[in-house]
Chains A and B, each alone.
Chain A
Amino acid sequence: MKRRDFIQKTVGASVASGVLVSTVGFTEVFGEEKQADGPVDMVAVKGGGPDGMFEKGIEAMGGMSRFVKPGDVVVVKPNIGWDTPPERAADTNPLLVGKIVEHCKKAGAKEVLVFDNTCDEWTRCYKNSGIEEAVKSAGGKMVSGKDKKMYKPVAINKGKSLKETTVHELVMSADVFINVPVLKNHGGATMSLSMKNLMGIVWNRGWWHKHDLHQCIADFATYRKPDLNVIDGYNVMKRNGPRGVSVADVVNMKYQILSTDMVAADTAATKIFGVDTAKVKHIELAQELGVGTMDLKSLNIKRITV
């Protein structure tokens, strides 16, 4: 038995017996198709807790200092769209958001600001998602995403359907922008992933729904590429998304994807979720616009099982 197989089997066995918890600190990098010397494009982590997986993931990405320089203003954009508790997985897991804020602060960030233009009433979303508390205790600051004054018009030069929109000024002025979507089913956009999550930094998204949603999502992805995308696949809403009806819609999949490429991250996420990538039309549309690549084989990917 090869060493790799042995580890995989052992890990598998401990998962089955329920022994494995996020604190198990062993990581194994394996299965690279392409071992590049350059920076890591994507890290896929599985088997741990939302915060533990991020610890391993960001380390493999080269540490938060790769993205955040001392004195930077960082904007973290989780999905906080719904007034639901963390176990419903309609919002990004608070442990993950808290951990990201913590790492940003450790890397010397001057300020870490967190917001979302929520669907449900925002103060309730912030509170009941657990994100407000996690962010505050990690030293970050919650900002309202419902203040219309803060949204400024921008031109989407590469946009096909979306030529202009209004974007939250914090995203425009921030030194670092970290996008933290939660992996879930979505009735309208098929899946809610990195690019879909950016609908929470614009004001007039109703217009998008009216003018070819998938094209608008892809168009907007050309505006400001997040410096880092972290897809939370710890608890995954498999149906009735994006809000979900109850915890019965949620499966504990324990995945996380970190990437600088939204198209790649979203492609990987569809595979984890088990949906045909082609069905999530905005992914291919975004590739056509040069946002990123769907060809995972061309990327330097690290896979980690915790």
Chain B
Amino acid sequence: MAAVTQPRSAYLTRWFILALLAAYTFYNLGPILWLLVSSFKGRADLFAMPPVWIFDIDTSGYESVFGVGAAAGTASAYGVVDALINSVVVSSIGTVMAVFLGTLAGYVCSRYDFRGKGDFLFFVLSTRMLPPVAVLVFYHLMFARLGLADTRTGLVLVAIFANVGLATWIMKGFFDGVPKEVEQIAQVNGYSRMYAFIRLVVPMVRGGIAATAGFCFIFAWNEFAFASILTTTKAKTLPVKISAASGATGIEWTQIMSAGVVLIIPVLIFFYLIRKHLLMGMTFGVLGRS
């Protein structure tokens, strides 16, 4: 081939890298693809070996999940809509609050010196060091006593508490990357510190805020341990609901697959919405110093 001007070794390296990337992509996306395909399979096709790729589309899983169509009003209506709403409400409010508090705390820890700052930062991080199992019993007792058991409010509090430490640390890192001259310029030129923070510094770290929100949302959305212990019926979140999807006729795999797809979609939507800011945040660079 005359068109190939690269040496043979570079050509091979290229193909090797492509093969690696393809394998990695398959490793990551394969299960999701399988989940998506399986959610439309009937019980017989689901476990066929070798897997069948051409099959009759069975939407009973989705009908059951949303309680519509043939499943409407029947005992097989699985009804994840309430759980989905619970998950969205708990994760969204939890994320917004954790990021809001983490942004304020991160800014203070980045810019001001106060007694016990190091201890404070260690403390907020230490809240993430405990495995949830170690404290679940106490949460359960406390929430029962406070009337927070099986409530969204309770789960929102858990989501905030679990994420605010992480949010504080990540945001402190981003604020550390903003030169202190930004506030100084604003102050000397006749503005308040509050103006500098809200109008100048926060826009500079919006990528960081998006990244932090991303982390918090994933943690809150996937949180299982607390939600499974602290909820019984009303406030069940989607992961908890899915885990309990075994009916009278055994484990309803089609329903679980359909519910799994429903579980993934909000995360995709969330990251689609913040994608523009995210790239900037994920690289952990704020803005090059001049």
Does A associate with B in a complex?
A: no
